[in-house]
């Protein structure tokens, strides 16, 4: 028998065995990133801290049950249990904060968006603080909105054209702003919700009548939305 036919299968078998004993590649960075992604973001952090809170609570409960059953215990065990209970409370608090941050991210893009408004509320004749044209619907809507949203604010901005002196126009703008402010309060707004700004003369050539500048504008504003705003 030719020996080369015996050696060849053996060589192939040995190579196969060598291949089988080769340890598989371990992609530690990839697996690490995938594991870290599990607790990524506000929602992941909420779950992560909730799990830690449950672990620490269980640790404290085990000692508590140990004591209730009058088993032997030592000082170190007791302190560890107290520390575990406190850690559980802290993790629960962190879980709630992360959950609130997640809810804020979900809700804030749509919060109040439909109520945001900017209107020319009233137009005036030259030198007058009594409007000859008033958008009563916009004023009523904004007044009711502020009444039902105590966290919201509104800007009341008054202008005049350049007819007359600058000082008299500043006083006129103040009176025009007061007129519209009074209407908003009558419709439900609180005075502290209204930020009044009397601009006075709008930009333009001196002593030039301009109906577009004899106006009081109103616009809504509100603080950034946050779920669980009382959670510190």
What confidence tens digit (pLDDT) does each residue in 163-185 have? 999 999 999 999 999 999 999 99
Q: What's the CA gap between 152 and 217, in Å, rounded?
A: 17
- Residues 119, 208 within the same domain: yes
Tokens (6 digits) for 223: 């603080």
- Residues 145, 88 within the same domain: no
- Residues 34, 99 within the same domain: yes
Q: What's the CA gap between 10 and 17, in Å, rounded?
A: 10
pLDDT exceeds cutoff 50 at 114: no
Asked if residues 208 and 162 have their Cβ atoms less than 8 Å apart, the reply is yes
**Residue 113 banded pLDDT, cuts 50, 70, 90:** very low
* Per-residue pLDDT reduced to its tens digit, 32-41: 888 888 888 8
- Residues 123, 212 within the same domain: yes
pLDDT exceeds cutoff 50 at 7: no
The last residue of one of the domains, among 109, 130, 151, is 109
Strand order, beta sheet including 194-201: 131-134, 118-124, 215-221, 153-160, 194-201
Mean pLDDT for 177-206 is: 94
Q: What's the CA gap between 28 and 25, in Å, rounded?
A: 9
Nearest CA to 218 among 200, 202, 199, 194? 194
Q: Does 14 fall in a domain?
A: no
Query: Quick one: pLDDT at residue 21?
Result: 62
Asked if residues 177 and 156 have their Cβ atoms less than 8 Å apart, the reply is yes
Strands (E), 21-147: 118-124, 131-134
Q: Which domain holds residue 138?
A: 113-221
Q: Does 19 fall in a domain?
A: no
pTM for this entry: 0.51
> What SS3 state is found at 160?
strand
* Total domains present in the chain: 2
- Residues 215, 118 within the same domain: yes
Mean pLDDT for 35-57 is: 88
* Per-residue pLDDT reduced to its tens digit, 82-91: 999 999 999 9
């Amino acid at each position: 028998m030719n020996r080369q036919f015996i050696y060849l299968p053996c060589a192939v078998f040995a190579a196969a065995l060598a291949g089988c004993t080769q340890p598989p590649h371990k992609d530690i960075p990839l697996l690490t990133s995938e594991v870290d992604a599990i607790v990524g973001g506000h929602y992941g952090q909420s779950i992560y801290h909730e799990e830690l809170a449950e672990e620490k609570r269980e640790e404290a409960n085990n000692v508590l049950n140990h004591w209730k059953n009058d088993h032997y215990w030592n000082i170190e065990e007791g302190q560890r249990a107290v520390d575990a209970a406190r850690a559980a409370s802290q993790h629960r608090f962190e879980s709630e904060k992360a959950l609130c941050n997640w809810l804020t991210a979900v809700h804030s893009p749509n919060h109040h968006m439909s109520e945001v408004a900017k209107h020319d509320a009233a137009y005036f004749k030259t030198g007058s603080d009594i409007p000859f044209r008033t958008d009563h619907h916009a004023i009523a809507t904004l007044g009711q909105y502020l009444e039902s949203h105590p966290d919201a604010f509104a800007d009341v901005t008054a202008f005049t054209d350049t007819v007359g002196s600058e000082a008299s126009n500043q006083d006129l703008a103040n009176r025009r702003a007061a007129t519209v402010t009074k209407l908003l309060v009558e419709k439900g707004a609180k005075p502290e919700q209204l930020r009044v700004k009397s601009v006075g003369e709008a930009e333009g050539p001196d002593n030039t009548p301009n109906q577009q500048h004899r106006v009081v504008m109103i616009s809504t504003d509100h603080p950034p939305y946050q779920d669980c705003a009382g959670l510190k």
